[in-house]
Structure 1
C-alpha cells in the first residue's frame, strides 16, 4: 500500500489549527496570512481523503478523521525536533558514544581528572571505558573497536594511521620489598639493583615501556634478570611484596598501598615515562576532537604536550 506524502509544513499547520481552533489565531501563530493557512489545510485534507476540520461560521472543530490524525502528527513533529537536536549535538561533539581504552596505571594518575572534566563539559556523551595495555589498545584503534586510547610509551616506529599526543611524563621509581636492604634509603640508584631479580610486565603487552625500563638498567651497566612477569602493576607490586624481586615502575604506582612494598625515587636525571593519547588520523568524529580539546584546555600537572599527527574535529 502506497503511503501518502505528508509535507511537514502542512502537518505543522494542522497541529497549530487543531490547538487554536481558529483560523485567524492559527495564522498569526504561524506568522502567515489566513489564505495560505487555508490552502495548507485543504492540501492536507486532499492527501488524507477526508475533511479534518468542520468549518462553521465562527466555529471550527476537529472531525473524527482530524482527531485520529492529531496524535500521530504531534509525534512526527516531536520526533523530528528531537532527532534534529540529537543530530546537531552529535555533529558538534556534545553528545553520542565514545569508546576509550586506557592503561590500568593511568587510573592512578591522569584518568580520573580527565574523565571528570570531560563529563562535566559533555554530560550527554556516553563514555565506554576499556582497560587495556598498550599493544591491545593499538590493535583496537586499528580495528575500530575503540575510538581513542590513553596509553604509555606509544610506538616510536611510524604509525601512518594513528596520531599521538603526549599528555603527561612522569619519573620512574624503584619498587622494593620493605625488607630489602635498599628500602632504608630515601633515593636508590638504578645501578644498586644489579644483583636483584626483577618482576616486570611482559614486553608483548607494552613494548615501549618494557624497553624503557630495560634501557634504564643497561644505562646503569647491567641487564636485569627477570624472575617473574605480571600483566598488571597491582600484581607486580604484590609479587614484589612476597620477595620475588624488585621492579622499576611509573611514579604513580606509589598509590598502590601495600604494607610490604617500599617505593623509592631513583636517579633524578633518569628518563621519564611518557603517557600519550592516541587516535585514528582519519577519524572525523567530533567526539574525539572534544576529548582532545579537553586535554588541551586542562592538561594534567607535569604534562608536556607534543602532537604527532593532525588533531581531528
Structure 2
C-alpha cells in the first residue's frame, strides 16, 4: 500500500494547532489568517483519512488519530530543523569532515601546529588523517579519497591540483655514529661519494628522491644505493646498522637513535620544499578554510 506524503507545512500547522487548541491563536502564531489554517488542516485530514481535531463551539480537541500523529509530526519537524542546521553548518564550513594525507616526516614539523590551529577555529569538524607518501597523496587527490595533502617536493605541474609552499627546510647527512664523518660538525655532500646510500624508493616520492640524488650529482657522483626504505624512521634504523648513509630533511633529527649522527650539510644551501596540495575545483568550504589556516600560520 502506497504511503501518503505529508507536506511539512501541513504538519507544522497541525502541531501548532495541537499546542494552541484554538484556531485564532494558532493562525496568529503561524502568521496566517484562519481560513488558510483550516484549509491546511483539512488537507492533512484528507491525506490521513481521519479527523485529527474535534470541533465544537468554543472548543477544539485532538481526536485519537490526532493524538497518535502528534509525536511523529514533532519528530519530523525536529528532524528537518536539525537537518537544515547541519546542512548550513557543513555548507558554511563550520562542521563536516576533512580528509588529510600527510608525509610521515611532517608529523615532526608542520602537521601538529597546523591541526591544532585548524581545530581551534573549527572544533566541530571531523579530521580524517592518513599517513601517505607523496605519490600516493597525489593519486588520492585525483581519486577524491583525500581532500588535502601535505607532502614533500611536489611535482612541478599536476593537472587540477594546486600547491602552496608551507615550509622550506635544509637537508642533513644521516650517518652511522661510527662513521668517520660523524666527527665533523658539517659535511659536504661530495664527502659521501664513497659511502653506500639508504634511500626512499623513487616510486613513493619522485620529487624528493630526485632532489636527493640531484644533490649527489651536483657534487660529482651518482649515489650507490645499498637499501631502500619507505619511511624515514626505517631509513635511520638501517643507517644505524651500518648499511649506509643518507640525506634527509633536517626535521628527521627528531628521530632519536643512539647509533645515528645527523650533520648539517655545508654550505647549507640545499633545502627541501614542503607543500599543501588540493583539488583546485573542490567545492568543500573546509578546504578553503584549511588553506586560510596555512596562509595565516
- 2:149 aligned with 1:149, yes or no? yes
Contact 2:17 2:26 (8 Å CA) reproduced: yes
Q: How does 1:1-313 map to 2 (within 5 A)?
A: 1-156=1-156, 158-298=157-297
Post-superposition shift, 1:268? 4.2
Contact 2:188 2:267 (8 Å CA) reproduced: no
CA distance in 2: counterparts of 1:212 and 1:76, whole angstroms: 59
CA distance in 2: counterparts of 1:22 and 1:183, whole angstroms: 90
Post-superposition shift, 1:110? 0.8
Contact 1:216 1:270 (8 Å CA) reproduced: no
Post-superposition shift, 1:160? 1.8
Name the Cα RMSD after superposition.
Answer: 1.8
Post-superposition shift, 1:47? 2.6
Ranges in structure 1 where 5+ consecutive residues have no aligned partner:
299-313
Post-superposition shift, 1:49? 2.4
For the residue of structure 2 that corresponds to 1:149, the secondary structure is strand
Q: TM-score, normalising length from structure 1?
A: 0.88
CA distance in 1: counterparts of 2:267 and 2:78, whole angstroms: 62
Q: TM-score, normalising length from structure 2?
A: 0.93
Query: Paired residues, what number?
Result: 297
CA distance in 1: counterparts of 2:290 and 2:12, whole angstroms: 38
CA distance in 2: counterparts of 1:270 and 1:224, whole angstroms: 19
Post-superposition shift, 1:114? 1.3
CA distance in 2: counterparts of 1:130 and 1:117, whole angstroms: 18
Ranges in structure 2 where 5+ consecutive residues have no aligned partner:
none
